[in-house]
């Protein structure tokens, strides 16, 4: 018996890259769309009400007006071995893939042209499934955190051109879902200059394409696009204050350092995901002793473009997926 109320446990998400911005690919032939895993989905259309009081009409409020539609929000995804490659391509563009067989190495670099995608969210539990198709989806931001415990998740900020509500699925026979293998926080690493930092208790980074919505005047009220501007990346590292002066030495030198954040899969030779930043500037921060316990120090930094490397941020994903085309 079909349910009458929606539950997240029944929701599915299909995704495909677009050839033309704002035009969902036709999935009526061979499978084009692929199911993707997610933990939270908050991309949806909004059309707020505006109000402009008109005098001479008495004391009661008059009709409001409708503002232009916006389709923005974020999605929380697991940091996993295979599915995250789709999101990295959306964030940084197509990777350079090498390898003639398992494993394959996919290298994504910041600063390039970005693709757009179509995302179809379906509530499957109803007798007539409810669908929301977001078209012209571009990835704006990425936020990742590393900790000793807890799930490994990432949050991606999205901007879409529009949202429709089709009665039929765009792809009735989608591609197979990526087998879900999640990276564990206990296998995370934060390295400075290629060496594992000591006494690290946590950290994270945020990357942004700083997309700018092109809000032109058009009869359908949609944006013309979301253009990428300056790509930026900021990061944080939490350490226990101790005898290791690696970070303090780098700060005193006032020269950029190479930092990397990553995870690996135990028992799998080489399967990993690593984010590299070849030039990171670390500012001096104040320290305080807040009690008899261990002394915690938090450092923040900003990544910059490396001319010789040709990128500001690089993601290297090694797995058994042949292509993210």
Segment 132-152, tens digit of pLDDT: 999 999 999 999 999 888 889
- Summarize the confidence of residues 178-203 as an average pLDDT: 89
Q: Do 303 and 222 contact (CB within 8 A), yes or no?
A: no
- Residue 252 sits at φ, ψ, to 5 deg, of -65, -35
Report the C-alpha gap between 211 and 136 in whole angstroms: 13
Report the C-alpha gap between 78 and 263 in whole angstroms: 13
pLDDT bucket at 227, cuts 50 / 70 / 90: very high
pLDDT of 2 reads 62
In the chain, where are the structural domains located?
8-170+179-319
pLDDT of 221 reads 87
| pTM given for the model | 0.93
Model confidence at 299: pLDDT above 90: no
pLDDT of 241 reads 74
pLDDT of 115 reads 97
**Residues in the chain, overall count:** 325
pLDDT of 28 reads 81
- Dihedral over Cα of 273, 88, 74, 163: its sign: negative
**Of residues 27 and 37, more confidently modeled:** 37
Residues 6+ apart with CB under 8 A from 175: 31, 32, 33, 34, 35
pLDDT of 278 reads 96
Assigned token pair, 245: 């002066």
């Amino acid at each position: 018996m079909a349910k009458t109320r929606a539950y997240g446990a029944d929701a599915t998400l299909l995704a495909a890259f677009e050839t033309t911005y704002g035009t969902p690919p036709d999935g009526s032939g061979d499978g084009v769309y692929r199911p993707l895993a997610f933990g939270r989905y908050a991309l949806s259309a909004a059309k707020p009400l505006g109000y402009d009081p008109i005098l001479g009409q008495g004391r009661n409020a008059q009709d409001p007006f409708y503002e232009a539609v916006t389709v923005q929000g974020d999605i929380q995804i697991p940091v996993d071995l295979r599915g995250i490659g789709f999101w990295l391509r959306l964030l940084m563009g197509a990777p350079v893939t090498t390898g003639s067989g398992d494993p394959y190495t996919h290298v994504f670099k910041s600063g390039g042209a970005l693709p757009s995608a179509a995302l179809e969210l379906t509530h499957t539990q109803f007798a007539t499934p409810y669908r929301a198709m977001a078209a012209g989806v571009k990835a704006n931001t990425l936020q990742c955190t590393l900790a000793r415990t807890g799930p490994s998740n990432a949050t991606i900020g999205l901007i879409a051109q529009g949202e429709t509500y089709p009665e039929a699925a765009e792809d009735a026979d989608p591609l197979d879902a990526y087998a879900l293998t999640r990276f564990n926080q206990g296998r995370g690493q934060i390295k400075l200059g290629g060496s594992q930092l000591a006494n690290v208790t946590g950290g994270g980074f945020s990357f942004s394409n700083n997309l700018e919505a092109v809000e032109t005047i058009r009869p359908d009220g949609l944006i013309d696009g979301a253009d990428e501007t300056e790509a930026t990346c900021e990061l944080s590292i939490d350490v226990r204050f101790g005898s290791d002066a690696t970070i303090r030495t780098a700060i005193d030198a006032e020269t950029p350092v190479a930092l990397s954040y990553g995870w690996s899969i135990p028992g799998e030779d080489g399967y990993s995901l690593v984010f590299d930043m070849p030039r990171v500037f670390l500012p001096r921060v104040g320290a305080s002793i807040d009690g008899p316990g261990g002394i915690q120090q938090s450092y923040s930094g900003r990544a910059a473009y490396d001319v010789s490397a040709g990128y500001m941020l690089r993601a290297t994903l090694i797995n058994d997926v042949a292509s993210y085309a």
